[in-house]
Amino acid sequence: MLNFFNLIITDIKISLRKKNESIISILFFIFSILILPLIFQGDKDILKRFLIGIIWFLTLLTIIFSIEKLFENDYEDGTLDQIYISGIPLETIFLSKSLSVWIITCLPIIILTPLLILLFDLQAEKIINIVISLLIGTPILCMIGAVTSALVLGFNKGTSIISLITLPLYIPVLIFGIEASNSEIIFNQISQEFKILIGYLLIVVAISPWIGGLALRLKYR
Amino acid sequence: MSFFEIKNISCIRGNKLLFKNLNFKINNKELLVIKGANGSGKTTLLKILSGLLKPISGSIIINKKNINILKDEYFKYFEYIGHENAIKTALTVRENLNFYLKIKRNLTTKNFEKAIKIFNLKDLLDIKVENLSSGEKRRVSLSRLILSNSKIWFLDEPTNGLDKINTVNFFKILKQHLQLNGLAIVASHDDIKIKNKNINLSVN
């Protein structure tokens, strides 16, 4: 358990030092949202209707950009080998990497989203919905991305095909994430979309470490 | 009975047979040097010995136990310095060493000062690795050997990037390790002056 946190802390420290790389994906997200009024020519109604979908789509793109080479640096500089022979299970390595990329990329997005949305006069309760659905949905996106990254590790050819194969797995998160963000929370009643999203999260949390660990293990055969 | 033994190890990488039925034994205080041209499989053999790759056949025996039975326990027996330095350029030398001290069970803080002194890293400790020369990076990587209390050293071109003085210094350290009942298996193109067994891998 201690090793799990050591790996995460080191990853966060490295990404904070490599400011350019980590900030660029967040800047991409912010600027993309800020230029939306230009794209919709100031039509607030259309913008409001599509805003949530756009936020989810941009979140997905930001995660895909940041997660593509999640294990690559460690693999190429020999660190992954050293972590592996330190006896830390590959599943733990996978989980720590997924969590660190979530902290580095998704947490700033989740914090920034309400502030950015305020610029577009969206209802306060929708903002809460978006934040909660992002909190549930982004770990799913990160874990699917991390599995893809583990699968393509060390392959020079066919990486785009493997990336395409896992692409459909993101789509339910987008569909239910957007629906959950738009759904109405009536007192303590959780909407169906939130339940499905939570269900998907639990499945991904339960399965992805094993698939990710297995994909990494293929490199050590 | 030797402390470390490999029996009939064969390896194919990318449809290419690298070696077939390779056997050797090595005991305390002994050094085995793996020689061979580029592409002959020296790095692959070291990776197999350190459990990073699996051979297609054969077995590795340490202290009378097969490493497949030992599983993760095997990792504490050795320290592996690969072709890559396995250090993070965004971190300082101290942070890199501390990272490994935290995650590797075979490393101990007890020898931290000694490692710094031997590899002359005192002035580099709080400098980011990205600002170091390739020889300095190699010294940081090699300093893990001193931190380690493992009996076996697996070293892949350990003197890569080192200048003459540091190369001589490194071989002194290797000799001391062997005198203290250690074992080492080194893939190297250097002319090693320490008494050693050697195997020569051919490209075909």
Domain-wise residue ranges, chain A? 2-219
pLDDT at A187: 58
Question: Residue A10 to residues A21, A102, A181, B81, B92: CA-CA distances in angstroms?
Answer: 16, 14, 34, 21, 12
The tens digit of pLDDT for each residue in A92-148 reads 999 999 999 999 999 999 999 999 888 887 777 788 889 999 999 999 999 999 999
Q: Give dist(CA A210, CA A147) in Å, integer.
A: 9
Higher per-residue pLDDT: B173 or B19: B173
Bigger pLDDT: A164 vs A146:
A146
Return the closest-CA partner of residue B147 out of B196, B100, B88.
Answer: B100
Nearest to A106 by CA among A144, A60, A171: A60
Report the percentage of chain A scoring pLDDT > 90.
Answer: 58
Could you tell me which chain B residue has the CA closest to the CA of A78? Answer: B86
Query: What whole-number percentage of chain A has pLDDT above 70?
Result: 95
| Residue B89 tokens, joined | 């350029």
- Indicate if the pLDDT at residue A160 is higher than 90: no
CA atoms of A32 and A27, how far apart (whole Å) = 8
Write down the pLDDT at residue B113: 92
Q: What angle in degrees, to the nearest 10, is found between the helix axes of A44-67 and A107-118?
A: 170
Task: Pick A78's closest partner by Cβ from B84, B89, B99.
Answer: B84
> What pLDDT does B134 receive?
94
Residue B15 is predicted with a pLDDT of 82
Share of chain B above pLDDT 90, in %: 72
User: What integer pLDDT is reported at residue A188 of this predicted model?
Assistant: 67
Q: Give the pLDDT band (50/70/90) at residue A157.
A: low
Which pLDDT score, from 0 to 100, does residue A46 have? 84
> B195 near B42, Cβ under 8 Å?
no
| Residues in B 50-89 with any Cβ partner in A closer than 8 A | 50-54, 72, 75-76, 80, 82-89
Mean pLDDT of B34-45: 89
Predicted local confidence at residue A117, as pLDDT = 87
pLDDT at A159 > cutoff 70 = no
> What are the residue ranges of helices labelled H in chain B?
42-49, 67-70, 93-103, 112-118, 134-147, 164-179
- Give the pLDDT confidence score for residue B169 in this predicted structure: 92
Please tell me the predicted confidence (pLDDT) of residue A191: 85
CB contact under 8 A, A220 and B54: yes
Helix (H, G, I), strand (E, B) or coil at B57: strand
Residue A185's pLDDT band (cuts 50, 70, 90): low
Mean pLDDT of B136-149: 94
| Cβ <8 Å between A85 and B85 | no
CA distance A213 to A220: 11
Q: How confident is the model at residue A67 (pLDDT cuts 50, 70, 90)?
A: confident
Token pair in block for residue B21: 């039925």
Res. A69: pLDDT tops 90:
no
Q: What is the pTM of this model?
A: 0.91
| ipTM of the prediction | 0.93
- Residue B86 sits at φ, ψ, to 5 deg, of 55, 45
* Rounded average pLDDT over B46-70: 92
- Judge whether residue A1 has pLDDT over 80: no
Q: Identify whether the C-beta of residue A113 lies closer than 8 Å to the C-beta of residue A145.
A: no
Q: Minimal CA–CA distance to B119: which of B140, B148, B147, B91?
A: B140
Q: Do B84 and A88 touch (CB under 8 A)?
A: no
pLDDT for the residue numbered A2:
82
Cβ within 8 Å, pair B90-A18: yes
Instruction: Please work out, in degrees rounded to the nearest 5, the angle formed at the alpha carbon of residue B88 by the alpha carbons of B82 and B92.
Output: 120
